[in-house]
Amino acid sequence: MALLRPSLASLATIWLILVSNLISSTAAANYPLTNDSRCDCYMTNGSDTANFTRHAFFDFRELEQYQGTPALLGGFQEASTAMTTSDFFLSEQWASMWEIQTWTNIGTANTTMRRVNSRNNVYIEQNTDERPSSKTWLSLRTARQADFQSTAEIVSRNKTYQYISMRMLARTVGSPGGCTAMFTYHADDQNRVQEVDLEVLTKYPKDQVQCTNQPALDANGDLIPEATANVTLPNGLHWTDWAVYRLDWTPKQSTWYVNGEQLTNISFQTPHEASRIHLNAWSDAGNWTGKMDVNTEAHLQVQWWEILFNSTSPDMQRQSCRRLCSVDETPVTGQPVKISQGSRLVNRSATLGTLVNWIPGLVVLALLVV
C-alpha cells in the first residue's frame, strides 16, 4: 500500500499547533517569580476561573526535626486529653492557621460507635517510600480500637473563608471503613449545613473519590443525586498514589481536579456563607464510612497544602487587583508568579517574543496553501 503524503496545508497546520503549544509552555515557564507581598490578587485556571485576594502555603516535606510516629493510645480518655506530638504544632507557623480538634461524639444522638479526635493522631511522619520525594509529610490517622474509633481532624482558626481554591499533594492509605477528607464547613445549626467535600472512602475501589455539595441526604435519609458524585480518578490513578487534589469553591459552583484534570463540578446547592476549612481522617462505623476492623488504621498523608481565598474579615479586604499573580503557572510549588502589572502583561522571555513574531507568517502560509 502506498504511503499517503501529507499536504503542505496539513504540515502548516501541524506546525502552527506545535508552535502554539510551545508558546504556551514557554509562557508558563517564564512568568517572573515573585512573593505574596507583591501580589494584589491571584487568578486560577480551569473551567471556572476566579480571582482571589489571598494566598497561603504550608510545606510539610522538610520537617525532620519534628518527625516521629506516636504509638496509639488505647484509652478513650487518654486519647481525648493527649498532648501535641511535636513542637511543630505549637509553632506560630502552624497555630496561625490551624487548630487540632479534640471533640468527641459523646451525647450525640444516633451514634454507632464512640469517637474521639485526638492530638495524638496528628503528627509529622518520616517518608519511608522506596523512592522518597520528600523527607517527611503530615499524617492524620484514624484507628479502630476495641470499643471506640480514634480519629484526627484539623480546622482553620478563621471561619471567614468565602470562596477558595485549595490544593494538596496527598494520598490515602489504610484499611476499609475509613474516610479522609478536605472540605469547607458552615452550619448555623445542624439543619442548615453548607459544605463542600472531597472525600476518599476506603471501602470503595482505589480509583474512586466522592465529591459533594452537602447535604447529600434528604430529611428521609435518601441520597440527593444532584448533590454528590462518585468519580473515577483519571489515567489509572489510585488514591494510594501521590497526587495533587484541588477543590475550587466559587459563587457559581464547586469544581474538583486531580493533577490538573477536572473530575467534576456541581452547581446544585453551592454554599454561599463564610466557612471554616477542615482536613480529617475518621470513621463512625455507620452507613457512610462503613466499619473498620479492630486494630486497623487509615491515614491521610499530606506533603503540602495550599489555598487561594477571599475573606469576609475586614483586615483581609483588598480594593485593588493591579498586581495579578498565579500559582497555577509557577515552576516552583507554593511560590506565585506575576502575570500582569496594572493593565500591562508582564514581559516573558526573548524566546517567546521570537516565536510570536513567526505567527503571522505561519498563518498566511496556512491560508495560502489550503
* pLDDT attached to residue 356: 38
Beta bridge partners of 150: 116, 143
Q: What is the mean pLDDT of the segment spanning 55-63? A: 98
Task: Summarize pLDDT for 250-294 with one digit per residue, the tens.
Answer: 999 999 999 999 999 999 999 999 999 999 999 999 888 999 999
**Which percentage of the chain shows pLDDT scores above 70?**
82
CA distance 287 to 112: 10
Q: What is the mean pLDDT of the segment spanning 196-225? A: 94
* pLDDT attached to residue 316: 65
CA distance 79 to 120: 7
Residue 141: name the closest of 168, 167, 115, 119 by CA. Answer: 119
Looking at the domain assignment, is residue 68 inside a domain? yes
- Given a cut of 50, whether residue 370 has pLDDT beyond it is no
Q: Are residues 295 and 358 in the same domain?
A: no
Q: Are residues 267 and 355 in the same domain?
A: no
How many domains does one find in the chain? 2
Mean pLDDT of the chain: 87
CA distance 255 to 249: 7
CATH assignment of the domain containing 119: 2.60.120.200
Q: Are residues 252 and 349 in the same domain?
A: no
- Given a cut of 50, whether residue 233 has pLDDT beyond it is yes
Residue with cell 477543590: 247
Q: Are residues 289 and 355 in the same domain?
A: no
Q: Are 310 and 166 in contact (CB under 8 A)?
A: no
Q: Are residues 148 and 37 in the same domain?
A: no
Q: How far is CA 361 from the centre of its chain?
A: 43
Q: What is the mean pLDDT of the segment spanning 121-140? A: 98
Q: What is the mean pLDDT of the segment spanning 227-232? A: 98
Length of the chain: 370
* pLDDT attached to residue 225: 95
Looking at the domain assignment, is residue 65 inside a domain? yes
Looking at the domain assignment, is residue 257 inside a domain? yes
* pLDDT attached to residue 46: 94
CA distance 43 to 352: 22
Looking at the domain assignment, is residue 258 inside a domain? yes
* pLDDT attached to residue 37: 96
- Given a cut of 60, whether residue 4 has pLDDT beyond it is no
Looking at the domain assignment, is residue 10 inside a domain? no
| Beta strands at 136-144 and 337-341: parallel, antiparallel or unpaired | unpaired
* pLDDT attached to residue 61: 99
- Given a cut of 50, whether residue 12 has pLDDT beyond it is no
CA distance 349 to 31: 8
Domain end residue (candidates: 274, 289, 316): 316
Task: Summarize pLDDT for 311-363 with one digit per residue, the tens.
Answer: 987 766 666 799 999 999 999 999 999 999 876 666 544 333 433 344 444 44
CA distance 188 to 17: 52
Q: Which amino acid is at 337?
A: V
Q: What number of H helices and E strands is found in the chain?
A: 4, 21
Q: Are residues 227 and 349 in the same domain?
A: no
Cell digits of residue 220: 428521609
Question: pTM here?
Answer: 0.85
Q: Are residues 299 and 342 in the same domain?
A: no
Longest C-alpha distance within the chain, in Å? 80
| Band of pLDDT at residue 15, cut at 50, 70 and 90 | very low
**C-alpha angle 288-294-300 in degrees, rounded to nearest 5:** 55
**C-alpha angle 44-47-49 in degrees, rounded to nearest 5:** 30
Q: Are residues 37 and 63 in the same domain?
A: no
Per-residue exposure over 281-299, b if at least 16 CB sit within 10 Å of its own CB, e if not: bbbbbeeebbbbeeebbbb
Looking at the domain assignment, is residue 211 inside a domain? yes
Residue 287: name the closest of 198, 230, 221 by CA. Answer: 221
* pLDDT attached to residue 345: 61
Looking at the domain assignment, is residue 159 inside a domain? yes
CA distance 347 to 369: 34
Q: Are residues 149 and 171 in the same domain?
A: yes
Q: What is the mean pLDDT of the segment spanning 109-123? A: 94
Q: What is the mean pLDDT of the segment spanning 190-200? A: 90
* pLDDT attached to residue 313: 75
Q: Provide the domain limits for residue 34.
A: 16-44+321-369
Q: Are residues 89 and 29 in the same domain?
A: no
CA distance 337 to 18: 25
> Cis peptide leading into 331, omega within 30 of 0?
no
Q: Are residues 257 and 342 in the same domain?
A: no
Please compute Rg for the chain using Cα positions: 24
H/E segment holding residue 256 = strand 254-258
- CA of 310: how far to CAs of 43, 68, 164, 321, in Å? 12, 35, 6, 13
**Which percentage of the chain shows pLDDT scores above 90?**
74
| Band of pLDDT at residue 230, cut at 50, 70 and 90 | very high
H/E segment holding residue 264 = strand 261-266
Q: Are residues 32 and 87 in the same domain?
A: no
